Amino acid sequence: MNDVVHLPALWIGIGATYLAVGATVAWVLGHRGVRSAVAVSALGCWPLLLPLLSAGPPPSASGPLCDRIDRCAEDLHSTMSDPRAESVVVVEDLDELVADLHRADQRLGMVDALVVDVRTSSGDAPGLAALLAARARAAGEVEAVLQGMVELRLSIGLRSLAGNSVPVQERLCDLRARLGALDEITEFDVGRTS
Amino acid sequence: MDRKTSVLDTCAALIRDPVGLGRQDARRVLHDHGPVLLLIAMASAAIFGGVVGTYRGGLQLLYASIKLPLLWVVPVLVTLPAVRAFHRVCGIEVNYGQVALAVLVGCARSALLLAVASPALWLLFSVNVDYHWAILVLCGTVLASGAVGLATVARVLPGSGATKVLANTLAALAVGVVVAQSGWVLRPFVARPRADVAFLRPVESNVFASTMASLRSARGRYDGWDARPEGLLATPPALAKETP
């Protein structure tokens, strides 16, 4: 009778231990704010995802404003696609604007990492102040575009009440142009400091 | 690669530039693309398993679709520490994240190649090829794509010269042994057309004893085929007799 119990117990024991470790890893990852797909993958394949348990949040190619950009984009998208907003078409320009914002944000993230690296290795190196000033201007422009997206939502709301016309596409193009000008400002800054 | 790339983009990166994908920051790629790479590995192996199952048809199609992903992923999970240990022993400084990413990329790429080879295998099976030839073709396909996967792992991991060759040879041997025994435990994949369909055969003997018996048979000595239950997971003899 012991033999009969022995075989399933071993199988179940190994499987349960593996799944218990997987559940623990998934729980820890979930509490660290990783994507749910990663946490779910850890249930079955936790040995591959153990490196994500090391200290610190998971590094990402995104920059410091990534979450805010995603939130603003999602809010604007939901406002534009609301049926009560009276035929405001969700235009592709929004996706392009969001992509531009993420690119600008990634550059900010790269500069932040660079500044930390330079400060650790060389202290306040010459040229660091100019880089920080350019970074502050770039961040300000991105913030202004995000504010513009919020104002666009308000305009759409106003339109649904008062019937004012809102040139959504033109406004989005203006915001994109503002981001495009950011590159020119950066080039100008670099030319002036070099 | 951007964070929001599609599954198709990841497939293209696996085929065109696996080294570029595997040499990025391991934690970031595992976080951003880990689930997609796992999905590609499992789905591709399942497609290949489905095609293998068509040789017998019926329920075997489902069984093989479930077992092939297990055969492709479980040995990888088991041998991860060994792969890292072999590199460290050979003096190659490599962290666990790098090994995990390299192995995941290699696994996904080789599974993708299995899926790519599936239509050709399907065509071959559809012309009523002999059972033994079907087994040989299956083994050849698995060996070829497995070799590509191991070569990808070797290219992604750092190191150079004789130590890299030694470390990767040892790692390949370890992975090969575990894959071979896993395949033995998970058989049958290609069931005989008139055989009863079973998810798993009873665990008996091991792949190496079976290979030795085959070699003896090739020399005209037909002994050593009385396979006995072996290993921790095998059914004990007393229990086997009781089981109808």
> Each residue of B143-200: pLDDT tens digit?
999 999 999 999 999 888 899 999 999 999 999 999 988 888 888 888 777 777 778 7
Residue B236 pLDDT more than 80? no
Q: If pLDDT is split at 50, 70 and 90, which confidence band does A3 have? A: very low
The pLDDT of A78-88, averaged and rounded, is: 69
CB contact under 8 A, A48 and B97: no
Distance, CA of A172 to CA of A68 (rounded, Å): 17
Select from A48, A53, A67, A98 the residue whose CB has the most chain B CBs within 10 Å, as the one to mutate to test that interface.
A48
- Cβ-based contacts of A96 with chain B (< 8 Å): none
Q: Which of residues 134-173 of A touch B (CB under 8 A)?
A: none
pLDDT at B110: 95
Closest CB from A4, A40, A41 relative to B239 = A4
Nearest to A146 by CA among A97, A81, A95: A97
Residue B100 pLDDT more than 90? yes
Q: Is A21 on the interface with B (CB under 8 A)?
A: no
Closest CB from B34, B96, B235 relative to A7 = B235
The pLDDT of B116-121, averaged and rounded, is: 93
> Taking the alpha carbons of B21, B25, B31, B32 in that order, is the dihedral positive or negative?
negative
Distance, CA of A45 to CA of B74 (rounded, Å): 9
Closest CB from A10, A41, A51 relative to B100 = A51
* Amino acid at site B108: A
pLDDT at B243: 43
CA–CA min distance A129, chain B (Å): 29
pLDDT at B81: 92
Closest CB from B28, B97, B236 relative to A60 = B28
Tokens encoding A101? 């914002």
Inter-chain Cβ pairs, chain A and chain B, closer than 8 A: 73
Q: Is A15 on the interface with B (CB under 8 A)?
A: no
DSSP H or E segment with residue B17: none
pLDDT at B232: 56
CB atoms within 10 A of CB B73: 22
- Cβ-based contacts of A34 with chain B (< 8 Å): 31
Nearest to B35 by CA among A21, A19, A39: A39
pLDDT at B73: 92
pTM assigned to the model: 0.65
Closest CB from B30, B104, B238 relative to A52 = B30
The pLDDT of A23-49, averaged and rounded, is: 89
The pLDDT of A10-31, averaged and rounded, is: 89
Measure Cα distances from A78 to A74, B136, B205, B230 in Å. Answer: 6, 56, 62, 61
Q: Is A89 on the interface with B (CB under 8 A)?
A: no
Percent of chain A at pLDDT exceeding 90 = 9
> Each residue of B72-94: pLDDT tens digit?
999 999 999 999 999 999 988 88
> Each residue of A116-154: pLDDT tens digit?
777 766 767 777 888 888 888 888 888 888 888 888 888
Which residue is closest to A13 within chain B, CA to CA?
B233
Q: B235 vs B90, which has greater pLDDT?
A: B90
Q: If pLDDT is split at 50, 70 and 90, which confidence band does B244 have? A: very low
CB atoms within 10 A of CB B42: 20
Q: Which of A78-92, B13-27, B36-50, B172-186 has the lowest mean pLDDT?
A: A78-92
CB contact at 8 A, B99 and B84:
yes
